[in-house]
Amino acid sequence: MLEIIKELQLAIGKEKVLLGEDVSDRYYHIWHMNDGLKAKAVTLPQSTHEVSSICKICTKHNQEVIVFGGLTNLVGSTETKGHEIIISMERMNKIEEVDPLSRTMTVQSGVILENIQSLAKDHELLFPLNFGAKGSAQIGGCISTNAGGLRVLKYGMTRSLVLGLEIVLMDGTILSSLKKIVKDNSAYDIKQMFVGSEGTLGIVTKAVLKLIEAPKSRNSAFLAFNDYEKLVKFLKFLDKELAGALSGFEVIWRNSYEVMTGTGANHKAPIPHGFKYYVLVESLGADQKRDREKLQEIIEKAILDELAEDAVMAFTDSDLNWFWAIREDVKIMADQGNYDQHFDVSAPINALGQYVDEVEAQINALDEVVAAFPFGHLADGNIHFIVAKNNQSNELKDKINDLVYKPLTSLGGSVSAEHGIGVHKKKYLALCRNETEITLMKTLKKTLDPKGLLNPGKVLDLE
C-alpha cells in the first residue's frame, strides 16, 4: 500500500479513506452517474481538522487533490484524470446553529442548500439563494462558485449572503473567521477572496450565512412581449412601481418556451405560443392580498400602455408552483438532442436582445445542431443558452463556444455570469479578464498554493 494512503488512514480513520471499487462505484458529476470515478482514493472528512490533516499529508507527498461538493457544477470542476485524491465534503453536513436574533445560520460546507432553506423557513426566516439544483448542491460548492440563481436581482450573489468563513489552505493552515456581523471594515475582507475561487485557493469547511425575515407574500405573473425595448421598459416600470419588492424577472425566448410547454413537456402553457419573449416575474412582500392587487394593477397598466402583449396572474399556490416549475425544468431543452452544451453569460441589458438574436441564429445554422434555447435572469444581465445537438465533436463544440463567447468582449460582458470557469472555459477567460487581472490571479494562486496541488488545472493554467 502507498505510504500516503497509510498516513491518511492513520490520520482520519481507515473507514474514511475509500480505495479500489469503493472509488470506482462513485461518480464525478450527477449527470454522469454511470461513469465510474477515477481517482487514487476518496477521503471523507468529518471536521475541519480532518480536512487540514489531509491537506498536510498531501502537501508533504506533492499529491494533487480535488474537492467534491454536490457535484452539480457545469464547467468540469470535478473532472479527474485518475491520479488525484478526492476530498469529499459529504459528511461535513451539520447545521451547527441558527441564531434568529442575529438572523444567521452556521453550517458545515457539505450541507445541502434545500436543507438550509427548510430550516430557515422553520424559524420564519429566508435564505434567498435559490436555483434548480438546490436539492443536491452543497453550500460549500455554492460559496466556492459564488452561485447566483433566481433571486440575484433582489438579494445578490452568494457572496452577499456570506458573513463568515472557515477555510483550509493546501498546506493545512486553518483560517477561521466565523463572525455573525454584517459590518466589519477592519482592513482586507479576506473571506471574499475565497468566494468564487472555485476551490483553487482554499477549501471551505464552514460558513456563517446571512438570513432575512421571511416574506409574508409571494406573487407571480407570466407576461408576453414581441418587442425587446418594450420588455426592458416594462422591467424599469415594474421595478419602480414595486419599490424594492421585485425579486425575480426571468425571460424565456420563444423556442425555449414552446419546448418547455409543448408536446411531451411536463407543464402546459399559461400563455399561448407565438410571442417572441415570455417573462416570469416574482414579488415578495408583507400582505398577500394587497401585494397581489398591486402587481395586478401594474400589469394591467402595462397591457393598456401596450408594453406587454398578454399576461396571466398566479392566483393560487398551485398556479405559482406551476409557473416556476416551467422555468426550473430546463432539462427538456437538453433532451431535444443526443448531446448538449450549457452557457451562462452576462452583458449589459440594453445589448442582450440583439446579442441573443444573432447568436441564436448563428448556432441554429450549424449542421448537427438541433436548436439553441435561450432563457435567463435578464434583470441582472445573465442569459443562459442550452444548445441541443447530435454531434459531440470538439470541432462543433469549439464553433459553438466561439459564437457565444467572442462577441462578449466588445459588449463588456462575461463568459461566466454564475457557473464559474472550471476546465471548460479556461481558454476563454482572457475574453473578459485582461492580462493584468489574470497575472494577479496567478500570483494569488501561487502564494496560497505554491505547489499547485489544489484543484489543479481548474480556472487558470499556471505555466
CB of 207 closer than 8 Å to CB of 109: yes
- The type of residue at 133 is A
Q: Using only C-alpha atoms, what is the Rg of the chain?
A: 23
Query: What percent of the chain is modeled with pLDDT above 70?
Result: 100
The residues, ordered by sequence, that sit 6+ positions from 249 with a Cβ below 8 Å of its Cβ are 153, 235, 238, 279, 280, 281, 282, 377, 378, 379
Farthest-apart Cα atoms in the chain, separation: 76
Q: What is the pLDDT of residue 2?
A: 87
C-alpha cell belonging to residue 410:
466588445
Domain 217-328 falls in which CATH fold?
A: Alpha-Beta Plaits (3.30.70)
Cell of 314: 398566479
End-to-end CA distance of the chain, in Å?
A: 32
pLDDT of residue 1: 61
pLDDT band for position 446 (cuts 50, 70, 90):
very high
Residue 210 pLDDT grade (very low, low, confident, very high; cuts 50, 70, 90): very high
pLDDT tens for each residue of 360-385: 999 999 999 999 999 999 999 999 99
**Percentages (nearest 5) of helix, strand, coil residues in the chain:** 35, 25, 40
In this predicted model, what pLDDT tens digit does every residue of 384-440 receive, in sequence order? Answer: 999 999 999 999 999 999 999 999 999 999 999 999 999 999 999 999 999 999 999
The C-alpha cell that represents 86 in the structure block: 478526492
3-state DSSP assignment of residue 224: strand
* pLDDT value for 367: 94
- Read off the pLDDT of residues 116-165 as tens digits, 9 standing for 90 and up: 999 999 999 999 999 888 999 999 999 999 999 889 999 999 999 999 99
Mean pLDDT over all residues of the chain?
Answer: 96
Q: Which three cell numbers stand for residue 318?
A: 398551485
Tell me which of 3.40.50.720, 3.30.1300.10, 3.30.70.2740, 3.30.70.1400 is the CATH number of domain 331-417.
3.30.70.2740
Rounded mean pLDDT, 189-204: 96
Fold of the domain built from segment(s) 95-213: 3.30.465
Q: What are the distances in angstroms from CA 78 to CA 25, 73, 116, 452, 463? A: 16, 8, 23, 16, 21
The answer to whether residue 318 scores a pLDDT higher than 70 is yes
pLDDT over 70 (residue 304): yes
Annotated domain spans of the chain: 3-91, 95-213, 217-328, 331-417
Q: Tell me whether the CATH fold assigned to 217-328 matches the one assigned to 331-417.
A: yes
SS3 state at 277 = strand
pTM: predicted TM-score of the whole model, two decimal places = 0.93
Helix 228-242 vs helix 349-364: crossing angle, to nearest 10: 140
Phi-psi domain of 342 (left: phi exceeds 0; alpha: psi -120 through 50; beta: other): beta
- The grid coordinates listed for 443 are 500570483
Of the pLDDT bands very low, low, confident and very high (cuts 50, 70, 90), residue 247 is very high
Query: Is residue 290 predicted with pLDDT exceeding 90?
Result: yes
Residue with cell 448542491: 137
Check the CA dihedral 326-331-337-342 and report its sign: positive
Residue with cell 416556476: 324
3-91 CATH, one of 1.10.1040.10, 3.40.50.970, 3.30.43.10, 3.40.190.80: 3.30.43.10
* Burial bucket for residue 371 (CB in 10 Å: 0-12, 13-18, 19+): middle
C-alpha cell at 53: 490533516
DSSP state of 271: S
Which residues lie below 8 Å from residue 69, measured CB to CB, with a gap of 6+? 89, 109, 110, 137, 138, 140, 141, 144
Please say if the pLDDT value at position 463 is more than 80.
no
pLDDT at position 74 is 86
3-state secondary structure of 273: coil
